[in-house]
Structure 1
Amino acid sequence: MKTLIVTQYFWPETFRINTVAEALHRAGCEVTVLTGQPNYPDGTIFKGYRAWRSDRELHPAGYEIFRVPLIPRGKKTALTLTLNYLSFLASSILVGQWRLRKKEFDVVFVYGTSPVLQALAGAFFSARKRAALIVWVQDLWPESLSATGYVKNPYILCGVAGLVRWIYHRCDLLLVQSRSFVESTCAMAGEVPVVYYPNPGDVERTPPERPRNPVSLPSGFNVTFSGNLGTVQAVETIVEAAEHLRDEPHINFVIMGSGSRLGWIQQEIKRRALANVYLLGRVEPEVANDAMARSDALLITLKNVESLKKTVPSKLSTYFGVGRPVLACMDGEGAEVVRASGAGITCESENAERLAALILELRSMPQEARDEMGMAGRRWYEKHFELMQLTDVLVDHFKQAMNGRDLKYTKETMGDGQ
């Protein structure tokens, strides 16, 4: 099955689509990726890449990646983000059609993170190549725009909602990463089918060997956060919880990742003289997974925003997969998954005092109880988030979308003949 993946973000940036692309390749799909020059989350182009170059690259797994020029995110102002989004949209269509001119595809698969604009490129290639169009919705638009605080104008949000409807109506199938997304997406999708398809984990069935350069963790009870350090992650809650526990011996907050709020965290650690927060920076996924497996608890935090209550952060499946207790400081669907699985304990978003109390509660539990939480998460992972199992499901979705598009095309042709 010839599959074009359209995504603004891709390896070596750390996104779940990296794992999905490799899994599809392993499952026998002929995968091609159309993406931009890597610059997420810090806003600077990665070493070895150029913002204005158009490249063909072979992934180590063996599939093709076509990179198009874009304007980097920079300091992540509203202006630089807008230019970043629009430049990828323009070059993915203008440069992408030249790069892909000799290729045919059965499926165009759009990794639907913010911005939704990249789905326009997917719609373009779907029409040009007569391929089924599938968008995997990771963020609800326009809700995500208001959640980040970058756009509050109701007229702009209304216009974005109209654009989302236009895109969704041209899809053959819409996949959503959270069950709570289904109702909102259906309201914009018209007659296009909407199906729940979660973010798979990236943890192997058989534990891999230790990485060559594992990170060193401090001694004591380590609460580890891994991932993007942005606005929606409510990193203020982590810093405030660390301050609440500053006098508790041997409780450490280990943070792996980078993002727009990293500078603020560094300033607050210095200003508050926090000796219990350790910043490890960006690390490779296998190194992060190894560090998480050696941690005592895994932390996930989100802002108290209505739209975020519907999301299930992609890191949650990986947290479950490594088999350590989860501390979830968030509301809604993600918190419900943690409670239903028995993999950890939860509190409401942005409640640093309550989070600190939960950390003390977890530390006071017998080791056997904490281990059982981790094993419950692993069992949930194997049942609901295991990568190759979900890849088989995804390939079936591709086939159904192709069959539905063929049937629709046949009916339209017969109608024109009449």
Structure 2
Amino acid sequence: MKIAFITQWYDPEVGSAALPGAIVRALVRRGHSVEVITGFPNYPTGEIYAGYKVRPYSREVIRGVTVHRVPLYPSHDGSALRRVLNFLSFMLSVSSLGALLARRGQVALVYSTPGTVGMAGLVLRRLLGRPFVLFIQDVWPDTVTATGMLPARFVKPSEWLLHRFCNATYRAAGHIAVISPGMKTLLLKRGVPADKVSVVFNWVDEEVFRPRHGKAREASSPLEVMYAGNIGDVQGLDTALRAVAAASAQADIVLRIIGTGVALESLIALAAELDISDRVRFEGPRLLDQMAEVMASADVQLVCLKDDPLFALTMPSKIQAILACGRPILTCAPGDAAALSVESGAGWACPAGDVEGLARLMVEASRLSARALADRGRAGRQFYESHLSAIAGSESLEIALSKALETA
């Protein structure tokens, strides 16, 4: 199958922007011919990467894959105007030159984050007669309005406009893939036929995230709980600190926080206020290729999100990373993230913001032997291989692309 992969983010961009590269490589391993249409790399700083310059068009080959780059306005900061310009500039580029480049494929896979990338699919289908699969990573307009990116006076008109735009892309798509069961439920409520939507979980870079030999916890040592990732307001990590304080009377718990972000200073202050500075270690960020070994150095991994309806549909990529590394997992989050953590057999879950519930789970985990914790980690790894791996996900995407081709 000859596939045009359309995405605003691509290698060498890092973090969540690295996911498109992993998807492309998995499809190539299945024997498909894939060409990428993308922008110029600027995530997450908003600054164009060294060695690149925004031009009307650029072509390169990355790891054997042809990558076509079209212009965009680079930005990834707190300015609503600059973020809108970033989204709209790429939308215009990819729905004109990008769509013409994508026409050479039998079918297009449109990686929908931001949702404006879906305009390329509309042009491909309605003007150029090419089928496409819409692979939704975050649901619009919900994501835009929930994050507070837009001033209040623009929220209602933006919701109206974006709903109409998104509904048009849903109708035009030959098939739709979403990354969580909650996303599928939401689309069905919005009138998308059930047979048109498939759940395709994201996977991780399996060369990086894989089981590594870790320390075996001794009965007399504290339980080391690790949070690794962005330290922002939406993670709600104050809940984790309060849970450590609440659990301290019953168990010896140490919380290790790996990463950086806007909430870091307030968490350091909260640790001092709760008098748990000796139980919370802020260890700074690590390089991506170090993360498997870093995670193996703790007993249990933590996933934490605030209680928000949007997050009930969210599947943080760190869950897949933790399961791929074969580590036990504590999840304090709503919806699909909590459900998957428990279903995998690797972990425990409590509602977002539930300090007492998380403290109780920490105490429960602290009372398990090293062998019992390792058993949970192995169960999670097995679940990842069966349901969340590159093999499982690319096979599901291949089926979705075939269904889209049938609509041509």
Shorter-chain TM-score range: 0.7 to 0.9
CA distance in 2 between partners of 1:183 and 1:205 (Å): 32
Q: Which of 159, 162, 165 matches 1:163? A: 165
Q: Does 1:281 align with 2:282?
A: no
Q: Does 1:311 align with 2:310?
A: no
> Counterparts in 2 of 1:203-222, with a 5 A limit?
203=206, 221-222=223-224
Name the structure 2 match of 1:136.
135
Q: Does 1:28 align with 2:31?
A: yes
Name the structure 2 match of 1:148.
147
Q: CA deviation at 1:334?
A: 1.6
Q: CA deviation at 1:28?
A: 1.3
Task: Decide whether the 8 Å contact of 1:105 with 1:129 is kept in 2.
Answer: no
CA distance in 1 between partners of 2:285 and 2:181 (Å): 32
> Counterparts in 2 of 1:203-282, with a 5 A limit?
203=206, 221-238=223-240, 240-241=242-243, 251-256=254-259, 262-266=261-265, 268-269=267-268, 272-273=271-272, 274=277, 276-281=280-285
Q: CA deviation at 1:300?
A: 1.0
Task: Decide whether the 8 Å contact of 2:124 with 2:131 is kept in 1.
Answer: no
CA distance in 2 between partners of 1:328 and 1:227 (Å): 14
Q: Which of 69, 72, 78 matches 1:70? A: 72
Name the structure 2 match of 1:6.
6
CA distance in 2 between partners of 1:50 and 1:390 (Å): 33
RMSD: 3.1
> Counterparts in 2 of 1:37-48, with a 5 A limit?
37-48=40-51
Q: CA deviation at 1:238?
A: 4.4
Q: Does 1:118 align with 2:133?
A: no
CA distance in 2 between partners of 1:32 and 1:227 (Å): 31
Name the structure 2 match of 1:385.
388
Q: Which amino acid aligns with 2:120?
A: A
CA distance in 1 between partners of 2:122 and 2:50 (Å): 31
Structure 1, unpaired ranges of 5+:
211-218, 406-418
CA distance in 2 between partners of 1:268 and 1:288 (Å): 22
Name the structure 2 match of 1:176.
178
CA distance in 1 between partners of 2:375 and 2:270 (Å): 38
CA distance in 1 between partners of 2:241 and 2:58 (Å): 41
CA distance in 1 between partners of 2:266 and 2:183 (Å): 36
Q: Which is worse superposed, 233-242 or 380-389?
A: 233-242
Using the size of structure 1 for normalisation, the TM-score is 0.82
Name the structure 2 match of 1:365.
368
Q: Which is worse superposed, 70-79 or 16-25?
A: 70-79
Structure 2, unpaired ranges of 5+:
214-220
Task: Decide whether the 8 Å contact of 2:3 with 2:108 is kept in 1.
Answer: yes
Q: Which amino acid aligns with 2:98?
A: G
Q: Which amino acid aligns with 1:264?
A: A
Encode CA deviations 1:353-401: one digit per residue, 9 max, x unaligned.
Answer: 5434433432232112211211111121122112113312321221221
Q: Which of 326, 333, 338 matches 1:335? A: 338
Name the structure 2 match of 1:324.
327
Q: Which amino acid aligns with 1:117?
A: T
CA distance in 2 between partners of 1:52 and 1:268 (Å): 42
Q: CA deviation at 1:26?
A: 1.4
Name the structure 2 match of 1:104.
104
Q: CA deviation at 1:43?
A: 3.0
Task: Decide whether the 8 Å contact of 2:71 with 2:89 is kept in 1.
Answer: yes
CA distance in 2 between partners of 1:69 and 1:282 (Å): 31
Q: Which is worse superposed, 1-10 or 347-356?
A: 347-356
Q: Which amino acid aligns with 2:351?
A: E
Q: CA deviation at 1:289?
A: 2.6
CA distance in 1 between partners of 2:339 and 2:211 (Å): 30
Q: Quick one: structure 1 residues 245 and 88, their matched pair in 2 at CA, closer, same or farther if it must change by over 3 Å? A: farther
Using the size of structure 2 for normalisation, the TM-score is 0.84
Q: Which of 298, 318, 336 matches 1:295? A: 298
Task: Decide whether the 8 Å contact of 2:326 with 2:380 is kept in 1.
Answer: yes
Q: Quick one: structure 1 residues 311 and 72, their matched pair in 2 at CA, closer, same or farther if it must change by over 3 Å? A: same
Q: Give the percent of matched residue pairs that are identical in Structure 1 and Structure 2.
A: 28
Q: Quick one: structure 1 residues 277 and 141, their matched pair in 2 at CA, closer, same or farther if it must change by over 3 Å? A: same
* Structure 1 residue matching 2:44: 3-state secondary structure: coil
Q: Quick one: structure 1 residues 181 and 205, their matched pair in 2 at CA, closer, same or farther if it must change by over 3 Å? A: same
CA distance in 2 between partners of 1:13 and 1:294 (Å): 23
CA distance in 2 between partners of 1:87 and 1:8 (Å): 11
Task: Decide whether the 8 Å contact of 1:323 with 1:375 is kept in 2.
Answer: yes
Task: Decide whether the 8 Å contact of 1:182 with 1:195 is kept in 2.
Answer: yes
Task: Decide whether the 8 Å contact of 1:43 with 1:75 is kept in 2.
Answer: yes
CA distance in 2 between partners of 1:241 and 1:86 (Å): 42
Q: CA deviation at 1:270?
A: 5.9
